[in-house]
A = this chain, B = another copy of it.
């Protein structure tokens, strides 16, 4: 499979993953973990999936505290392709900085931004969609990947799609971005048709993205280009950058102005937000799904998920839909149905001042 000429991947690697505690910690967050039992972290899996398109044309943007760990997991990537944010400034600054760096290297480059914590079972279909998005983006638009909804999810924002674009297999005009809806509105979107889930993946020429940003946030665009021109000014300029998400900064106003298209990728994508979605990604049989050493698990009359990460025996007896996560210094017991509430444990530990467990 040939590389896509002039295409660069931008991979923001961030997010606390607090609903995956105690597996995900501040020191080794979700994207650095092997959550699929493949021996590759989510970050490595993201780059593996993109490699046939990009080769090593990849820029990873991560927090300064994680930069060394990221470089350690990606030994094939030149060290200066891992950009370290001095502090989190939301997604526009992260992706925009990478865009500005790529723009200086390759003024005609098309970039695509793909979060480091996604799991995409059908990588071929994903790459087919990205190729189309790159082709569309060369024409000067911002292209977003929008997943065909299968149910009235309330956990995603939606994209309202309009007319077909001539000359492309699936591309549509993106008319409007809408925030995560309540259940009633989500059902309405599904009934109306023409809506896509916003997968948070954007493809555009680096220059187009920064020029669109300049239209609505000129200081932010100028600041990012200044850092790319003089990397030594990063610490000086970074704290003054506007803290805003790429959706609000560019995608929403650009869609309203008619500059955004949407390409529907086939198949599902999962951000592994909690132990329920993690469980769904793992092979299962009679008993619970197991991540880690299956030989360390004794499960009798049980279903759910066991994460065996503590080098200890984990025994589960008569538990339906249970989640047991064993780590060297903490063990979590909950159910897949309550998996969202794990965040409350992290909040409780923070309130206790137990940063060592976070």
Binding site for B on A (CB under 8 A): 21-22, 298, 300-301, 310, 312-319, 322, 324, 326, 328-335, 337-338, 341-342, 344-345, 348-349, 354, 357
Contact = CB atoms under 8 A, between A and B. Distances in A.
Contact of A329 (B313, B322, B337, B341): B313
Contacts of A345: 298, 300, 315, 317
Contacts of A22: 313, 315
B298 A349 contact: yes
B348 A300 contact: yes
A233 to B, nearest CB: 43
A24 to B, nearest CB: 14
Per CB-CB distance, the 9 closest pairs between chain A and chain B, nearest first, are: A318-B338, A317-B334, A313-B330, A315-B345, A315-B332, A316-B333, A317-B341, A324-B333, A312-B329
Q: What is the count of identical protomers in the complex?
A: 2
Q: Is the interface of A mostly helix, strand, loop or mixed?
A: mixed
A319 B331 contact: no
Contact of A318 (B21, B316, B335): B335
B331 A324 contact: yes
Contacts of A331: 310, 312-315, 324, 326, 331
Given A300-B344, A314-B331, A324-B331, 13 more contacts: A21-B315, A298-B345, A312-B328, A313-B330, A313-B357, A315-B331, A315-B332, A315-B345, A316-B333, A318-B341, A322-B333, A324-B333, A333-B333
19 contacts: A22-B315, A298-B348, A300-B348, A301-B341, A313-B329, A313-B349, A313-B357, A314-B330, A314-B333, A315-B331, A315-B334, A317-B333, A317-B342, A317-B344, A317-B345, A318-B335, A319-B335, A322-B333, A324-B331
